[in-house]
A and B are shown apart, each in its own frame.
Chain A
């Protein structure tokens, strides 16, 4: 029996409601429950879930809809109580806040008149519009939102470039500005290494390793995953590189990229050869054989961090940082137990695992992505569980253990599985204690395999620093105590997994090569606005997810929270009229 509760004019952002749905789902005696804002798009999701009712049909975009499938009508009251409690606790935790909350751009601007950055995390369909407004107000944009069309991204970045502003993103999961962690980011010491990166966990892994090796990061500028594709032409990456070149406290520049478009890649590399500072690069999937002039290309994220740290500390750059002893003693596998299952929450970490695995299997280092699977070969699988495919209507696996728990169990049931390979990404935005959340599932999986006569190896790395809000050392300790093999970084974890199944990666001793003559000349100057962004503490308007203010407030940086909602509650007709009434 379906029961519907409509809470009129009660807006909550979708992540909150997903977490709330999960909390409520855990109650006994419910077949199914879904809590969402009653927007037309969400109504379709209800429909797909078989939870569509007349009351829901009548509800409007600003109404919160709770649809419960249960045999026991009394449960409805319990669900409502739980919902009220959850929302109430949330408002209490937001009781006395160190920042003002506003509902319009006008008021955001009048509350923080010297703001220079908008951190935007509104739903993708509205992201370009809000980013354009921010640019019109002369603000740099950190665009966390995903699902932004490529042509909108190109338009935003061209406009920003003309105005002397930076658009970091879209789908910019992470960043560090003057030591301040933005969105999903680790708390990394301030230092001399500047990062520009087209990827989320790529930046997190490199910056966290830099921190753990005792160096620090000046800025980590995210560019979004498509910046090095043809239609965009690396606008943000090139402006970011120029910014770091002009930033006197940055001594070394690290550039992290997913597989780029060739022409764009070459243009970026040309620019890097113009830069006066030493540069470390990684183009994921490229296995470099040389260092060229001031540009040191690395194969893995860990190597990227280590080269940068050695340069920062005035040491000679080594020919290779990847090879090592990754042997696991007394491996006992049954015949047919040959496969590695990489179950990742971090997209770039998954890609790196796929590259290394592919390399170890002798398949080359180019990777593809099908339904989130970055590698699928003879039972070996590497899956990015943060891919859109797995996050429709569900929280990201860095926030919520559910999806990964399911995959772990499936991997354990698969008789070919020898190793489960995991990442634990700490930092702001991530789950408070993912180790404790996943360990029961890991332990169950291992014991399930054991009952069926198989040893199952679980190898993991923890991407974090000792200053992260979670307990980095405690995470590692808890994992180790439960029998998980914990390595310092993803590169080592993957290679350890390979060694368990008797495989290894052949590493190259990179040769030095003189700088080739760049084909074009570049203007290395940047706008006053960009200089201001890299030389001063940011002043931030946070548009959307309130939790992003945690890290900003903890850094004592001025921030105003813009509790964004769709214009006119998503009423298209009114939205159009408003756009005309200027």
Chain B
């Protein structure tokens, strides 16, 4: 190891996180930036998984994506194709991408392009479809597929053209720093950031040469979609952490994600290797008519937000949603963030939280500290119905399983020749 100690290696990783410069530069068809998607490939959330092992929502999403891409015309046809291996599955994380819930991403879906200028790397994420019946929760009705086409044909190109009117894209650090003082934690609550985004792009969208009805639809969609910024935040987390994990040493957690079956993490010292353990099922509040019984197990790449230091780790920043995600009140939100600080190395001065005495957000989960204390990272999450197509039925929190972290540090100790 070229560092004197693991602490020193970890510090180098953290320096890259703090020094990162993520910009939202474009919205493009996924296959234009991810060459693997030129083939019949479906990207999914979490560590690698086979069709048979996917839970309902992810399978439903795959069906929807197959229909959207026109690889199949009917549901049955799609299912058959997916089951008999005609389509290749691949984790988003393996191609510089992340995806919410099922994370299902195919070539013609538009993706955000976030460029991390400090490390000259990029990351991608599909756009948020809003709430209700949506692909990411496994819905694939005509309404869902139609919306995906509208996003491909109208929303994506409009945002792309708008972003081209900026000099260098949108500086994401600035938007995040503002929104965190307005009560967002960027996983369960993104309304402030989404409004800031709209404030930035609205003057640009009005300048785009386009159909007026389409323009009105785009503006309405952005105004209605409270969680629109979540996917930008996810691509940002991915871009920043991928930049930081160029330091191939240390025990900083560089990714956390779930495929509905397994929870997977990466640590800086172990490069691309996944350390997995069975996922937990989120606990939380449910929309009327649904109960814990209906909840799907933990799923999605969105835990990249917690890996970055927001989401559940920044619960204290978002008093507005603490009740929703099962924390009793302000004191519980405070103790949640304080507890997460126990497993983090430092605090990120770029994003200070007013309700936390202007302390910076959590910076750098140390896998060693997770194992040492037994404190499992907390993740704020939406809860999907376990049947495909029903969609989101609640929201809550879930913990990352300790075993992932134990496996990771054991592997790293082996790599260093210590055991």
On A, residues with C-beta under 8 Å from B are 9, 62, 96, 100-104, 106-107, 565, 567-569, 571, 573-574, 576-578, 580-582
Q: Check B342 against A578 for contact (C-beta < 8 Å).
A: no
Q: Check A568 against B418 for contact (C-beta < 8 Å).
A: no
Q: Check A104 against B342 for contact (C-beta < 8 Å).
A: yes
A113 to chain B, nearest CB (A): 14
**Can you sample 23 A-B contacts with CB below 8 Å?**
A96-B331, A101-B335, A103-B339, A103-B375, A104-B342, A104-B369, A567-B372, A568-B374, A573-B410, A574-B371, A574-B406, A577-B371, A577-B419, A578-B368, A578-B371, A580-B413, A580-B419, A581-B368, A581-B409, A581-B412, A581-B418, A582-B6, A582-B7
A102-B342, A581-B251 known; A62-B372 Cβ under 8 A: no
0 or 1 for each of B273-303: is its CB under 8 Å from A? (1 = yes):
0000000000000000000000000000000
Q: Check B338 against A568 for contact (C-beta < 8 Å).
A: no
Q: With A103-B339, A103-B375, A567-B372 given, can you name 19 additional A-B contacts, CB distance below 8 Å?
A: A62-B374, A100-B338, A101-B335, A102-B338, A102-B342, A103-B373, A104-B373, A106-B342, A565-B373, A565-B374, A568-B406, A573-B410, A574-B406, A577-B371, A577-B410, A578-B371, A578-B372, A581-B409, A581-B416
Q: Check B409 against A577 for contact (C-beta < 8 Å).
A: yes
B6 and chain A: residue at smallest CB distance: A581
Among A100, A102, A568, A582, point to the contact of B372 (Cβ < 8 A). A568
B413 and chain A: residue at smallest CB distance: A577
- Bound-state Cα–Cα, A184 to B7, Å: 39
B341 to chain A, nearest CB (A): 6
B8 to chain A, nearest CB (A): 11
B375 and chain A: residue at smallest CB distance: A103
B335 to chain A, nearest CB (A): 8
B369 and chain A: residue at smallest CB distance: A104
Among B5, B335, B342, point to the contact of A582 (Cβ < 8 A). B5
CB interface residues, B 327-367, toward A, < 8 Å: 331, 335, 338-339, 341-342
A63 to chain B, nearest CB (A): 11
Q: Check A107 against B342 for contact (C-beta < 8 Å).
A: yes
- Give the chain A neighbours of B342 by CB distance below 8 A: 102-104, 106-107
- Give the chain B neighbours of A576 by CB distance below 8 A: 419
- Give the chain A neighbours of B6 by CB distance below 8 A: 581-582
A103-B342, A104-B369, A107-B341 known; A581-B413 Cβ under 8 A: yes
A145 to chain B, nearest CB (A): 20
- Give the chain A neighbours of B335 by CB distance below 8 A: 101
A574-B406, A582-B6 known; A104-B372 Cβ under 8 A: yes
A104-B342, A107-B341 known; A9-B374 Cβ under 8 A: yes
- Give the chain A neighbours of B419 by CB distance below 8 A: 576-577, 580
- Give the chain A neighbours of B369 by CB distance below 8 A: 104, 106
- Bound-state Cα–Cα, A582 to B8, Å: 10
- Bound-state Cα–Cα, A568 to B406, Å: 9
A573 and chain B: residue at smallest CB distance: B410
- Counting chain B CB atoms within 10 Å of each CB, the highest count among A96, A574, A576 belongs to A574
- Bound-state Cα–Cα, A569 to B412, Å: 20
0 or 1 for each of B386-419: is its CB under 8 Å from A? (1 = yes):
0000000000000000000010011011001011
- Bound-state Cα–Cα, A581 to B366, Å: 12
- Give the chain A neighbours of B406 by CB distance below 8 A: 568, 571, 574
Q: Check A569 against B341 for contact (C-beta < 8 Å).
A: no
B347 and chain A: residue at smallest CB distance: A110
- Bound-state Cα–Cα, A9 to B418, Å: 29
A182 to chain B, nearest CB (A): 26
- Give the chain A neighbours of B410 by CB distance below 8 A: 573-574, 577
A102-B342, A580-B419 known; A568-B413 Cβ under 8 A: no
- Give the chain B neighbours of A568 by CB distance below 8 A: 371-372, 374, 406
- Give the chain A neighbours of B413 by CB distance below 8 A: 577, 580-581
A94 to chain B, nearest CB (A): 11
- Give the chain B neighbours of A100 by CB distance below 8 A: 338
B261 to chain A, nearest CB (A): 21
CB interface residues, B 303-346, toward A, < 8 Å: 331, 335, 338-339, 341-342
- Give the chain B neighbours of A567 by CB distance below 8 A: 372
- Bound-state Cα–Cα, A96 to B369, Å: 27
A543 to chain B, nearest CB (A): 14
A95 to chain B, nearest CB (A): 8
- Give the chain B neighbours of A107 by CB distance below 8 A: 341-342
- Give the chain B neighbours of A104 by CB distance below 8 A: 342, 369, 372-373
- Bound-state Cα–Cα, A62 to B373, Å: 11
A35 to chain B, nearest CB (A): 20
A340 to chain B, nearest CB (A): 51
- Bound-state Cα–Cα, A422 to B204, Å: 87
A110 and chain B: residue at smallest CB distance: B341
- Give the chain A neighbours of B374 by CB distance below 8 A: 9, 62, 565, 568-569
A95 and chain B: residue at smallest CB distance: B331
A93 to chain B, nearest CB (A): 15
- Bound-state Cα–Cα, A96 to B373, Å: 24
A575 and chain B: residue at smallest CB distance: B372
- Give the chain B neighbours of A569 by CB distance below 8 A: 374
A399 to chain B, nearest CB (A): 28
A11 and chain B: residue at smallest CB distance: B374
A62 and chain B: residue at smallest CB distance: B374
- Bound-state Cα–Cα, A406 to B251, Å: 55
A103 and chain B: residue at smallest CB distance: B342
- Give the chain B neighbours of A577 by CB distance below 8 A: 371, 409-410, 413, 418-419
- Bound-state Cα–Cα, A576 to B369, Å: 14
B341 and chain A: residue at smallest CB distance: A107
B370 to chain A, nearest CB (A): 10
Q: Check A578 against B373 for contact (C-beta < 8 Å).
A: no
- Bound-state Cα–Cα, A364 to B409, Å: 62
Q: Check B339 against A578 for contact (C-beta < 8 Å).
A: no
- Bound-state Cα–Cα, A567 to B335, Å: 21
- Give the chain A neighbours of B375 by CB distance below 8 A: 103
- Bound-state Cα–Cα, A578 to B6, Å: 11
- Bound-state Cα–Cα, A567 to B331, Å: 27
A566 and chain B: residue at smallest CB distance: B374
- Bound-state Cα–Cα, A577 to B6, Å: 13
CB interface residues, B 207-257, toward A, < 8 Å: 251
A61 to chain B, nearest CB (A): 9
- Give the chain A neighbours of B7 by CB distance below 8 A: 582
B411 to chain A, nearest CB (A): 10
- Bound-state Cα–Cα, A534 to B339, Å: 34
- Bound-state Cα–Cα, A571 to B371, Å: 10
- Give the chain B neighbours of A9 by CB distance below 8 A: 374
B251 to chain A, nearest CB (A): 7
- Counting chain A CB atoms within 10 Å of each CB, the highest count among B5, B372, B375, B412 belongs to B372
- Bound-state Cα–Cα, A569 to B416, Å: 24
